[in-house]
Amino acid sequence: MKLRCIANNGQALPDSYLESGSGYSSNTEFPLTIGKEYVVYALAIRDNQVWYYISDDDDLYYPVHQPAPLFEVVDNALSKYWKYAFTPEHLDHLALFGFYEWISDPYFYDRLTDGREREVSILRRMKSLMDLEAVSVAQ
């Protein structure tokens, strides 16, 4: 799945993404470049919101969730590496599409962002596969 950024601030978000507790406001600036394309490494659904996990312009070693209204979908093919999980017990999402290790372990992302070697290694491998997949689909 591939996206193109169409907005990079909170003014472009519906009110449901700006509600108290979300940490976002209409003044929020996101580390995204308008017109730039991004590969989606996971997709989360929470309430009536969709979040894409991408490597944004902060270029961290792990993907970060960004609100769907900031993007248009360029390639709507779901990654062949994605699986689905219904996650009502999770605080960050109700449903998650992502690679097996991520969707099957509720603490995978936490350990990944903590820099744990196993999770970072898995992400590198899966990110590389999905990047190649996105390039081959585009050709």
Residue 89 belongs to domain spanning: 2-138
pLDDT for position 137: 66
One DSSP character per residue, 9-21 reads: BGGGS-HHHHSTT
Number of domains making up the chain = 1
What is the distance between the alpha carbons of residues 6 and 68, in angstroms, rounded to a whole number? Answer: 10
CA distance linking residue 46 with residue 102, whole number of Å:
17
Q: Show the tokens assigned to 113.
A: 């962002």
Three-state DSSP class for 70? helix
**List of the chain residues with pLDDT < 50:** none
The strands making up 37-39's β-sheet, listed across from edge to edge, are: 37-39, 2-5, 71-75
3-state helix, strand, coil in the chain (%, to 5): 30, 30, 40
> Distance between CA 59 and CA 38 in Å, rounded?
12
Please give the single-letter amino acid code of residue 137.
V
> What is the pLDDT, as a whole number, of residue 23?
84
Q: What is the pLDDT of residues 47-82, one digit of tens each?
A: 889 999 999 999 999 999 999 999 999 999 999 999
